[in-house]
Chain A
């Protein structure tokens, strides 16, 4: 089956690329997998184990929304068997990269079948070097912040691996099944921990509104500014309206995020008279050895940071 796939790649990409593909394929019989960003890279690692060779495009602590794809990424896509993507317009760079690579790999959209939140604002803001950048997306793409959606991602990954590598399928399914149990336990753990936070205190403030799914599933409300830039004076009014909302809803703490610089939330915290509650991991894992090097660690870390800050006096 792999031989056929190889023929197809060669036919579609021409001799130039086959020179790159052949030695790599001869070295390893592993399924070549691309994950677009670190969180689904972690899912792929768990499900694929030793049977896959994994490359993650947008690495730890990096913001996929402002990622600039490199030639090496296109070459990797051209060689891949399976490409795992979030979808919901999360990876804005992907279409042009797929096109440049001419890849014939199977592209699996992991949010297919997930319980998706429509974004009433038609998008959300990212903060990069003090600038607000609007990310237009009719549906909220940060679906992994719901553990039940994460389970859908994992099932979709197992399905994609099985379609491309029937021999390894039983292994993928067994790995996925064990992991799904772990995720179910994680979901319960989060629900219990949030239940212990007094109801009136379940309001947090973040810069980049990436936590709507967490809000929907676990009942912590997240407030976020809209389009505020740390350097624009015009944003004073927007910060003011956020501060009003913070007071009305009695938000308990302001949180920084691993993919953004903290200047904006520091400003909000000081104006609202709130403490900075720590750093939440939103769209990316931490590097290995950090507090959120896997998805499960990421959710546990966020939970610990949130519950500690929201219950503090």
Chain B
């Protein structure tokens, strides 16, 4: 892990000297955390633990055997219980926000989302373009869930009906949708209808184009601009073109063993390429653009499970039934190295018999070993076990979330971190217990801050108002009037250093030193509450206010990412002021960043 961090830093240096200089100005801690979710083979139970510190462990009860998917960059975990007609959702507690040159990581406990989905035989899950789509194989529809709302702990779903119930999938591509389709020929008894291809549909399920043939369509993945899906005749690729969807059938070439096909695909996140199964003993590297589109990798034994490394697009990992783990070089389409990592698990028997499952976690492969009752940690580099974690019962399906990122502890420049954790979200909205409130020091607001009022005046925030109007019950104009009163101030900049606060109006400073004067809890008309953290002037300019009161949606020590400031000479009169709340963001933030930050809340 250390090595990887060093490498990343080295590359940043190569790519952008100035970015590195900025990094050094931050006083932030780099943190790597992977969290493993394991579903038991028999019991309706999910165990979650942190890979490095497995004593950080949580157990969740569900109603059936769980197949697990990390979605929305690992912010949430979906637990599909096909045989029990249920889908449960979990906030993973880890969220990563990419900022181009670095990521921010936020860590909390995992939590079950209260709402669940029920319906006839949920199966395939697709996580793409801000949507999580779950196919209900016996319901004849897919539920489309908003991924962002899910990471806030809310389940907002829409149903896309299919012409006929089948074991299939629905996927978003650009602004369009596609669904697998079946023949409409009648079937006897319980027999499944024949799956024949893929069709563009509108969000209400009505056809939006012709069916592209893909016999026995099964297995789907995204990589780069493409969706790929397995068929009897080849792999069908789909991409959004200027004038609608473009599909192409990449037929299996003659060199591949005949009579077999691809039914499971994994898409690389960092290079436009897919790794698929092919027959029982093979894998194929599928290149949607360049020839050869297929390169076959023959394995010595039947395949148990395989995974692609999201961190390094070059390698995939596959376990064969003899208990050997193989590293597959995707560029070279060859097994690069192999090592025995567990006892044999024969592929004879049912597909859902207890056998190991693989997931990637940074420099390690995480492998469930149901018969041994452990989750094994295997190094990518050596293919050697570096640890094993006991899990009650028969650990089976796994999902790993997390990664590396910065935990912001600095101020000002780094103040754009924000929380999406459910509990903190409630606090943000003003719902909390008195016992949760803790005294805070002025250092929570240290830094150089800018007023957002000028951005309201110059139209920069019009988009935020439009956004509020879309979500809320007032028009953009009404919101703007409300914020015009709220944000209004002539103090355009504030500098806070140690116990010194400088209020700047047109560059003219009022400077004074302040000491904590406790806090007050306010109850608003809507029923939610806020906490004012109050500071009293100890010395400084005569004209500087006697009191300043911060309100930043936080109720315990934590660096502010933005705040509302009230100031004046009468402590209690200030507490009555609830319509004008001058608002400040870090001076280092650009207009666009502020707009996006505001729209995220």
Contact = CB atoms under 8 A, between A and B. Distances in A.
A17 interface: yes
A277 B223 CA distance: 37
A109 B313 CA distance: 23
Contact of A89 (B16, B270, B311, B312): B16
Contact of B270 (A16, A97, A122, A237): A97
Given A89-B100, A116-B18, A100 B314 contact: yes
A15 B476 CA distance: 63
A96 B16 contact: no
A302 to B, nearest CB: 24
Interface in B324-340: 329-332, 334, 336
Contact of B100 (A20, A71, A136): A136
B314 A101 contact: yes
B590 A120 contact: yes
Interface stretch (B353-361, B462-470, B502-510, B523-531): B462-470
Contacts of A87: 15-16
Contacts of A121: 590-593
A51 interface: no
Interface string B1-41: 00000001001001111110010000000000000000000
A134 B592 contact: yes
A129 B287 CA distance: 23
Contacts of A107: 14-15
B470 to A, nearest CB: 6
Contact of B470 (A94, A97, A100, A234): A234
Interface in A1-49: 14, 16-17, 20
Interface string B154-195: 000000000000000000001100000000000000000000
B224 interface: yes
Contacts of B174: 129, 131
Which among A20, A70, A97 has the highest number of chain B CB atoms within 10 Å? Answer: A70
Nearest to A97: B271
B211 interface: no
Contact of A139 (B18, B467, B592): B18
A5 B312 CA distance: 24
A219 interface: no
B21 to A, nearest CB: 10
A71 B330 contact: yes
B115 interface: no
A136 B597 CA distance: 13
B285 A14 contact: no
Contact of B592 (A16, A89, A227): A227
B591 A68 contact: no
Contact of A237 (B19, B225, B466): B466
Contacts of B271: 68-71, 73-74, 96-97, 100
Contacts of B214: none
B491 interface: no
Contact of A92 (B8, B100, B224, B329): B100
Contact of A238 (B8, B223, B311, B462): B462
B404 to A, nearest CB: 13
A107 B311 CA distance: 20
A109 B10 CA distance: 13
A94 B14 CA distance: 11
A123 B331 CA distance: 33
Contacts of B595: 226-227
A261 interface: yes
B114 interface: no
B290 A71 contact: yes
A97 B467 CA distance: 36
B159 to A, nearest CB: 23
Interface string A91-108: 110111111111000010
B350 interface: no
Interface in A136-173: 136-139
A306 interface: no
B152 to A, nearest CB: 21
Which among A69, A85, A107 has the highest number of chain B CB atoms within 10 Å? Answer: A69
Contacts of B329: 16
B556 interface: no
Nearest to A73: B271
A74 B313 contact: yes
A134 to B, nearest CB: 7
B589 A70 contact: no
A89 B14 CA distance: 11
A63 to B, nearest CB: 12
Given A100-B312, A237-B476, A78 B240 contact: no
A237 B272 contact: no
Given A123-B590, A136-B99, A226-B460, 19 more contacts: A14-B336, A69-B270, A71-B331, A72-B290, A87-B16, A88-B18, A94-B15, A95-B8, A95-B15, A97-B270, A109-B14, A116-B18, A120-B591, A121-B592, A122-B589, A122-B592, A122-B593, A123-B593, A129-B174
Interface of B: 8, 11, 14-19, 22, 99-101, 174-175, 223-225, 240, 242, 270-273, 285, 287, 289-290, 311-314, 329-332, 334, 336, 459-460, 462-463, 465-467, 470, 476, 589-593, 595-596
6 cross-chain pairs, A with B, having the tightest CB-CB distances, nearest first = A68-B224, A96-B270, A122-B590, A100-B313, A136-B100, A121-B592
